[in-house]
Structure 1
Amino acid sequence: MLVTRYDDLPLYEPEQKSRQWSDARRKRFRRTMAFLAGGLAVLLVAGFGYVGFTYWHFSSGIHRIGGVVGDSKPGTDQNILLVGNDERPANMTKQQYQELSTTEDDGSINTDTMILLHVPANGSSATLISFPRDSYVAIPGHGHGKLNAAYVYGSTGASGTADQRDAAGMKLLISTIENLTGVTVNHYVKVSLLSFYNIADSLGPVTVCLNHAVNDPYSGANFPAGTQKLDARQALQFVRQRHGLPNGDLDRATRQQYFLSVEAQQVLSAGTLLNPVKLNKVVGAVSSSLEMDDKLDLLSLATQLKGLKSGGVRSATIPLMPDPYGDVPGVGSVVLINHDALPDFMATVTGGKTTAQRVAEAKAADPSSVRVDVLNGAGTAHGSSTGLATFKSLGFQTGSPADAPESQQTTTVYFPKGDEAQAKAVLAHVPGAAVAQSSDYTHVTVVLGTDGKMPVGTSSGSSGSGSGSSGSSSSTSKSSAPAPKPSAPTKNYNKTTCIN
């Protein structure tokens, strides 16, 4: 897991104080604008909203979509999904297509950038969690596939206006991420290719450094090694490139984190903050470039973030398998998530509880109220029927014997969202089993693994002490051991840092 803290970002370049800005106002603006390091769009929204700089004019230019998320209380933990896609507006000019280094067509509605922004209730920090677009995940109602296909399935399967189809796509993408992570997504913000270009253009050239020269015909990225300044067109090429990089999508995620970090340093300089003409240009570009849900209150979000200081923004990528690339028939090359490590990872970055902790804290349900299924993932004779007989003797409701879709190493008790109490009752009779929340099952389901663990007729005395692993029945989850406690190595980026 990569976690980045921007502790070394200078807030201002040395410059004589302007008489137009008081020290108090300068500090207030500095705190909120520091949030830009986490994502150009939302960060600028929060910064300008808090200061009140042309706020109402700014807010009125944003395109809002209803029917995607429910209400959330201001001042509580907020999870905001930042989405970037490849859509091209119908009225784009030939020159704009050239500037974006893309084809003169409608592009694709795949969501190529997905970052979950977590803001705790006290607003003292913010964490951006990146999800590789090719992550192999369970998509509700569509089996397993790449994460960036969820929005496509939802929007193309819906009828109605463009906004209604967009809302359906975002709802399915949000449901997919919620099922994967176990957290609730409160809001979303979407930025298209052209929108990113307009924002980058308003901010001006940014300095980056590359370890190696690149020449990628797919993104248009053609840069020498070393330090160089990128204009808006080149910035878009820089953050889009994945072909020709050693780690593909993973290096692209690093590119995006790096770009946001060095761009933040430029925006936080006095040359931008104290330049009314440039500041107004940035505000206008952001306002006209965003789409978001109709429940997101920008002023409340900005107020919540008023205590954010430099170094309070972290960047992270969900944990992946040691060999993160695999191939799935009918799907193609995918990125494999480390489902065993994911719950503890999410708990670490959001301050929440792991699956195992939630199960441990629940009051075990009465066995007579719990339906339990047993699937044989070990390949042993009569494993499922033997396990079901044990649970039936204990008073549980039971299903029919069946084999798991694939072999599995770790015996795991899976349960649907909200069934922690039922899972605890079952887990008490499967000593040493892992426990996981999964949308793949409608009842508590024990998948027997090759580790040889089986249901027993008496309580193990350790209910709720499973590993807290999370995953799916897909073999690509590679469940093999209790979830490790994720570490949090840090990495600081600045314009003198060179990356791939």
Structure 2
Amino acid sequence: MHLLGKIAVAGLAFAVLGGTAYGYQNLHALDEVSRDSVIDADGGTGPGEQPADGSLDILLVGRDSRTDKEGKPLPADVLRELRAGANGDDLTDTLIVLRIPNGTHDVKAFSIPRDSYVSMPGGKGKINAAFGRAKAAEAKRQRDSGETDKAKIDQAALTAARRGTRQAVEDLTGVKIDHFAEVNLLSFAEISKAVGGVDVCLKSATKDKNSGADFPAGPQRISGADALAFVRQRDGLPGTDFARVRRQQVFLAGLARQVLSAGTLADPGKLSDLIDAVKRSVVLDASWNLLDFVSQMRGVSGGGIRFETIPVVNRDYRYDQDNPRATAVQVDPAAVKSFAAGLIGSAAPKAPPAAPVTVDISNAGPKEGLAARVAGFLGEHGFAKGTTGNTGARRTSLVTFGADLAQRGAEVAKLLGGLSTQESAAVPPGHIEVVLGSVYAGPGTTGGGGAPAAGDDPITSSGVVCVD
């Protein structure tokens, strides 16, 4: 829901690269976009935007907020049009990191599920709460220090909230965020209308009163309130939040395709509407020099944007013993960091094992073909394919191995999203055994950071993919 700010800028960047005076003039018009001090002063990138970590990284944040970019409540008639209701809170509904590697590589974007359970100031919690926690803490600090000007308190709290979200993402992923873009419900609807709608495709018809979604099956073009409903729906979808993440990815891929099309770049009216929508509603970090960003985009190949999701350990993590109904998404920070680093090819190369290591995989969950897909994924990382098949139902996953393969077993567990491990003398020599439980959500499943599930095509900006 926030790739929008970045994609809008990217579209204008390509207009500049096309040499059109109109595009260049309007890029300067974006100097009027709202700014905030989100990025640390000593962490800014140098001229040409070639960061030392090998990638320009942009955090795209979509807020489930019923306020405008300055924190003022949206009018009742606007809320009715958006079908958003009057109640909102300080949560980030969408978090996507856009990685633009130095040189001529394709752009990679990865989603962070909003319920990812992480460490942050105030104690562990869902990552979407980092915004509200930091906001409330700063507002209290301002009042305790004697500040009475509400506007100053609110602005300081918003800045702290954005910085808190950025820090939570950096701590989880190991990625140094270079730039920040934020949109809310209103800006999302306005930007989608400005580009003339976005092409999407649904596998089946769906209807949900909570989000306002009411869509037929098949390809269709959506904008405004319908676009907002499309990316907000989770009730009635298989995988709920993970299905919503995939909805958001396919919509943003379509938005990128639409912005970069000749129909938008060559249409002064659409470009003007897009710029106006961005200026009204998008918040960027104060350090983002858009002309430098254009220079960085010159080095990006035309392969488009590919969307993925961080690996997760457990989608149904019961993190509170006193409230067993409370659930979150369990993640392994080490696996997430390895995944994020691998998107720009900076993951440490693995030395070949002294002897072949075979991985036998049993599927203890309901996903058909999962064991074979995971075997294929491990094969890409140097492990030999052993037996694959189904086994008795089991909720959690487990990797077992002999004492001599403890290091390689730990490697398999990490590759699959941080699975539990166990040493066992019963495992045949040269083998590692993996049982995939019903809540397994690593590579080979939708939203697991690796290969897509059967029937789920990779999402890129090069074409329309049908989703649930």
Q: Which runs of 5+ in 2 are unaligned?
A: 17-23, 143-152, 352-397, 400-405, 412-419, 425-438, 443-448
For structure 1, list consecutive stretches of 5 or more residues without a partner in the other structure: 1-36, 358-408, 411-429, 436-447, 453-475, 480-485
SS at match of 1:53: helix
1:75 equivalenced with 2:50 (yes/no): yes
Residue 229 and residue 126 in structure 1: after superposition, are their counterparts in 2 closer, same or farther (change >3 A)?
Answer: closer
Give the match's secondary structure for 1:245.
Answer: coil
Counterparts of residues 50-65 of structure 1 (less than 5 Å): 51=16, 52-60=24-32, 62-65=33-36
How has the CA–CA distance of structure 1 residues 487 and 193 changed in structure 2, closer, same or farther, with 3 Å as cutoff? closer
Relative to structure 1, is the Cα distance of residues 169 and 123 closer, same or farther in structure 2, using a 3 angstrom cutoff? farther
Aligned partners of 2:234 and 2:243 also within 8 Å: yes
Return the offset for 1:130: 0.4
Paired residue total: 353
CA distance in 1 between partners of 2:119 and 2:184 (Å) = 25
Deviation at 1:114, TM superposition (A): 0.2
Equivalence for 2:272: 280
Aligned to 1:229: 221
- Contact 1:46-1:298 at 8 Å conserved across structures: no
Q: Is the 8 A contact 1:66 1:167 kept in 2?
A: yes
Aligned to 1:351: 345
Q: Match for residue 129 of structure 2?
A: 149
Q: Secondary structure at the match of 2:50?
A: coil
Classify 1:147/1:356 alpha carbon distance in 2 versus 1 (closer, same or farther; 3 Å).
farther
1:311-360 deviations in whole A, cap 9, x for unaligned?
Answer: 24221100123x52222225822122255632331221133345999xxx
How far off is 1:279 after superposition? 1.5
Matched, 1:317 2:281: no
Matched, 1:294 2:263: no
Q: Tell me the CA shift for residue 433 of structure 1.
A: 9.9
Contact 1:324–1:335 (8 Å) recurs in 2 = yes
CA contact (8 A) 2:39 2:178 kept: no
Matches within 5 A, 1:10-29: none
Q: TM (normalized to structure 2)?
A: 0.67
Q: Tell me the residue number matched to 1:327.
A: 318
Cα deviation code 1:398-451 (max 9, x no counterpart): xxxxxxxxxxx99xxxxxxxxxxxxxxxxxxx988969xxxxxxxxxxxx9864
Contact 1:124 1:308 in 2 (8 A): yes
Task: Report the more deviating stretch, 285-294 or 110-119.
Answer: 285-294
* 1:240, distance to aligned residue in structure 2 (A): 0.8
- Say whether residues 1:491 and 2:445 are aligned partners: no
TM-score (normalised: structure 1): 0.63
Alpha-carbon distance in structure 2 between the residues aligned to 1:240 and 1:174: 22
| Residue of structure 2 in register with 1:337 after alignment | 331
Q: Is 1:42 matched up with 2:36?
A: no
CA deviation map 1:284-324 (0-9, x unaligned): 11122211211111111121111323324221100123x52
In the alignment, what sits opposite 1:66? 37
Aligned residue for 1:83, secondary structure, equals strand
Indicate the structure (1 or 2) with the bigger Cα radius of gyration. Answer: 1
The verdict on how the C-alpha distance between 1:310 and 1:71 changes in structure 2, with shifts beyond 3 A counting, is: closer
> Contact 2:2–2:181 (CA<8 Å) still a contact in 1?
no
Q: Which residue of 2 aligns with 1:461?
A: none
Q: Partner residue of 1:104?
A: 86
Matches of 1:68 and 1:163, distance apart in 2: 16
| Structure 2 residue 247 is matched with structure 1 residue 255 | yes
> What are the within-5 Å matches in structure 2 for residues 75-474 of structure 1?
75-76=50-51, 77-89=55-67, 90=72, 92-105=74-87, 107-122=88-103, 124-139=105-120, 141-159=121-139, 160=142, 161-321=153-313, 323-329=314-320, 330=323, 332-339=326-333, 341-353=335-347, 451=423
Distance 1:175 1:264, change over 3 A: closer
Look up the equivalent residue of 1:168 and give its one-letter code.
A
